[in-house]
Amino acid sequence: MTVTGLTVGIIANPISARDIRRVIAKGANLQLTDRANMVLRILAGLAQGGVDHVVMMPERAGLRTHIERGLHQASLDDFRMPDVRWLSMPVSSTAQDTLDASHAMRELGVSAIVVLGGDGTHRLVVKACGNIPISGVSSGTNNAFPPLTEPTITGIATGLAVSGNIPPSQAFEANKLLEVRINNTRDIALVDTAIVQERFVGARAVWRPESLRELFVTFADPSLIGLSSIAGLIQPITRKAPVGMQLTFAGPQEALYSVNAPLAPGLLTPVHIEHSQLFEPDLLITPVSQQGSFALDGERELPFGPDDKVSVTLKHDAFNTVDVPRCMAFAAEHSLLRFPSTHTTTTLRRNS
């Protein structure tokens, strides 16, 4: 596939928000048609922002059918949308699809990638997309990373950002991440990495506080849910602050204090804190725990044991995202979405 003109990639996870936390908590289940409508709103916004072409990740859940139906209706209504193409790649309906699509979009040279999914989907895109900026739309369970912005607005802001209408210093925002190393294996987390006692992956999602041993976060917002909310309820840390936080957990008898943390939608659970401290970027931190598994952005991924060399490092200015509020403020201040009136007159007919 070759693309010409301003091109943006879209990676829409058709099965985000279907982990065990939806079963044990009170989170809503996002239907396929809802996801398709969110993508169509992103596309409408991208067109408004000046994007000509979009490439999308293929899938088998049926998302493409709904999207193409919406695009056909838009053409009948003479409603402007970008030209949409689908990547030619194998589909496994696993996380590998996201990694492969991110690599392919990187090779195509897209100007940005819009991600529809949860923290885990965003993590995979950042892991594989290189220096391409991303913009996120939330559709997962415990979403701390993607801000809750209307998809249409995300599309408009992304289009304006990559079309050159907004200076890069205004359009993009640098973000932190955590780099996790086990021997020669490297992985990342955008929001948090937890060490849990189990040395197996299992159902992946972490929601039982008794299994927690340590927690590292890039930012801590007390208004969010998930593991990072524990840190947020202790000491809030902004996304731009050049520090992270490390927590160690204990039983209720050994803990210094406890917090009731919203680990999943509607699930408030006591968590017992033994110690907390801030740490700066680029420091190689050796966890206290000798064995267990690393959960990256809420999902168990990397088991380790006493013989492994393990470290966690905070990386500042690690990747860029589209700063949606700032882009929209710039658009308003510089009249980027203003156009001359047609001066048509409408007469209202009164009922007699």
Residue 206: inside a domain, yes or no?
yes
**Averaged pLDDT, 19-48:** 78
Average pLDDT, the chain: 91
Q: What average pLDDT does range 41-57 have in this prediction?
A: 98
Residues 161 and 189 placed together within one structural domain of the fold? no
CATH number at residue 152: 3.40.50.10330
| Same domain as 208, residue 102 | no
- The mean per-residue pLDDT over the stretch 169-180 comes to 98
Give the pLDDT score at 21: 46
Query: Does 342 reside within a domain?
Result: no
Nearest to 275 by CA among 288, 291, 290, 262: 288
Domain that holds residue 280: 176-316
* Domain match, 98 and 131 both: yes
Asked whether residue 99 is assigned to any structural domain, the reply reads yes
Q: What's the pLDDT score for residue 341? A: 81
Q: How confident is the model at residue 145 (pLDDT cuts 50, 70, 90)?
A: very high
Residue 28 lies in a domain: yes
pLDDT for the residue 206: 78
Residues 192 and 154 in one domain: no
Residues 158 and 79 placed together within one structural domain of the fold = yes
Query: What confidence category does residue 65 fall into, taking pLDDT thresholds of 50, 70 and 90?
Result: very high
Decide if pLDDT at 287 tops 90. yes
- Kindly give, in sequence order, each residue whose CB lies less than 8 Å from that of residue 27, ignoring residues fewer than 6 positions away: 17, 21, 141, 264, 265, 266
pLDDT tens digits, 289-328: 999 999 999 898 999 999 999 999 999 999 999 999 999 9
Tell me, yes or no, whether 300 lies in a domain.
yes
Position 122 in a domain = yes
Q: How far apart are CA 197 and CA 189, in angstroms?
A: 19
CA distances from 100 to 59, 129, 208, 221, 285 (A): 12, 10, 32, 31, 31
% of the chain at pLDDT higher than 70: 90
* pTM, two decimal places: 0.91
Residue 182 CB-density burial (10 A; 0-12 exposed, 13-18 middle, 19+ buried): middle
Position 5 scores a pLDDT of 80
DSSP output for 30-91: PPHHHHHHHHHHHHHHHHHTT--EEEE---SSSHHHHHHHHHHHHHHTT----EEEE-----
Q: What CATH number does the domain containing 207 carry?
A: 2.60.200
234 and 255 in a common domain: yes
What's the pLDDT at 28?
A: 57
pLDDT confidence of residue 208: 81
- Percent of the chain with pLDDT strictly greater than 90: 80
88 and 234 within one domain: no
For residues 131 and 220, state if they share a domain. no
Q: Is the pLDDT of residue 2 over 90?
A: no
Residue 316: the pLDDT is: 97
Let me know whether 152 and 222 are in one domain.
no
81 with 226, same domain: the answer is no
Query: Which residue has better confidence, 25 or 67?
Result: 67
In a domain, 165, yes or no: yes
Nearest CA among 49, 48, 43, 38 for reference residue 13: 38
Mean pLDDT for 67-77 is: 96
Pair (252, 154) in one structural domain: no
* pLDDT the model gives residue 265: 85
Band (pLDDT 50/70/90 cuts) for residue 19 is very low
Residues 76, 140: one domain?
yes
Evaluate whether 292 touches 199 at the Cβ level (below 8 Å). Answer: yes
Residue 25 has pLDDT above 90, yes or no: no
Has residue 104 been placed in a domain? yes
| Number of structural domains in the chain | 2
Burial 247-256 (b: 16+ CB within 10 A, else e): bbbeeeeebe
> Please, which pLDDT band fits residue 198 given cuts at 50, 70 and 90?
confident
> Any idea which of 21-25, 77-81, 90-94, 266-270 has the lowest mean pLDDT?
21-25
On whether the CB atoms of residues 105 and 10 are closer than 8 A, the answer is no
243-253 per-position pLDDT tens digit: 999 999 999 99
195 with 231: CB under 8 angstroms? Answer: no
| pLDDT at residue 348, rounded to an integer | 43
